Structure 1
Amino acid sequence: MDPVTAVAAASVALVAKGALESAAQEAGRAGWAGGARLLERLRARFRGDHAAEAALEGVTRAPDDEGALAHLERLLAAHMLRDHAFEAELRRVVAEAEAARTKGSQVSAGVIKNATVFNEKVEIQGDWNIS
């Protein structure tokens, strides 16, 4: 996948994630608050481009619609190829989102629940996701 397509795909994924969180009333609890900013930035960027506006609206209405996601991704990549400053801006947004995602998932093994760990066995219960 070429770099522009990768950034477009990541941006579309962030828009879809933001739409899902908003629909589930979780936007206030999200670890990264840039989803709403990204959505508003894309709305401003697409203003006047009726096909792009409709594609963005389609993803916000149905963020799990694979066809809508792919269509928005293609239109977003086209905008990025025409405007390198816009492409750089989206790269920064994607990098910021990735940093926020990994920041919240790091665990310091030195202190867990105020107990010092000396390379002994640590048991974890509950939901635990590692990517």
Structure 2
Amino acid sequence: MDPITAIAVAGVALVVKGALETTGQEAGRAGWGGGVQLIERLRARFRGDSGAEAALDQLQQSPGDTAAQEELQRMLLAHMLRDRDFEAEIRRTVDEAVAARGGRGQVNAAVIKNAQIFNEKVEVQGDWNIS
């Protein structure tokens, strides 16, 4: 996976987290609360692009919808490829989210599902349940 695509995937994961925060499903969990701010930033960026606006709205309504995640990822990637300053802004946002977690990334299988993630080291903490 190339770096810009990885940033788009991570950005969508943060949007999903923000959508869950606004519906209360993630309320009370410790962590970086910038997902909601990222949604608002994307809403401002996508203004006038009906396809991108629809993709963001669909994901907010159904955060677990894999097709909606993939569509928003495509829209986010397209906007980042057109504007390198916007790409840098999304990259900083993702970096801030990782830094807020103590420098450790967090993979949420319910959000990412079948995406390929490449890490140097993977640590699992807490209970591990497979269903």
CA shift digits 1:76-126 (9 cap, x unpaired):
000000000000000000000011123699xxxxxxxxxxxxxxxxxxxxx
Q: CA deviation at 1:26?
A: 4.0
Corresponding residue of 1:34: 34
| 1:77 maps to amino acid | L
> Could you state the TM-score of these two structures normalised by the residue count of structure 2?
0.75
Q: CA RMSD in A?
A: 2.2
Alpha-carbon distance in structure 1 between the residues aligned to 2:127 and 2:102: 12
State the SS of the aligned residue for 2:101: helix
Sequence identity (%): 61
Question: Is residue 2:126 matched to residue 1:128?
Answer: yes
Q: CA deviation at 1:25?
A: 5.5
State the SS of the aligned residue for 1:36: helix
- Matched-pair contact (CA < 8 Å) for 2:21–2:36: no
Q: CA deviation at 1:128?
A: 2.8
Q: 1:28 to 1:46 in 2, by over 3 A?
A: farther
Alpha-carbon distance in structure 1 between the residues aligned to 2:26 and 2:6: 26
- Where structure 1 has 5 or more consecutive residues not aligned to the other structure, the ranges are 106-126
Corresponding residue of 1:3: 3
> Could you state the TM-score of these two structures normalised by the residue count of structure 1?
0.75
Alpha-carbon distance in structure 2 between the residues aligned to 1:26 and 1:94: 18
Q: 1:43-82 residue pairs with structure 2 within 5 A?
A: 43-82=43-82
State the SS of the aligned residue for 1:102: coil
CA shift digits 1:36-60 (9 cap, x unpaired):
1101000000000000000000110
Alpha-carbon distance in structure 2 between the residues aligned to 1:15 and 1:30: 17
Q: 1:20 to 1:54 in 2, by over 3 A?
A: same
Corresponding residue of 2:14: 14
Q: How many residues are matched?
A: 109
Max radius of gyration: which structure?
1
State the SS of the aligned residue for 1:13: helix
- Where structure 2 has 5 or more consecutive residues not aligned to the other structure, the ranges are 106-124
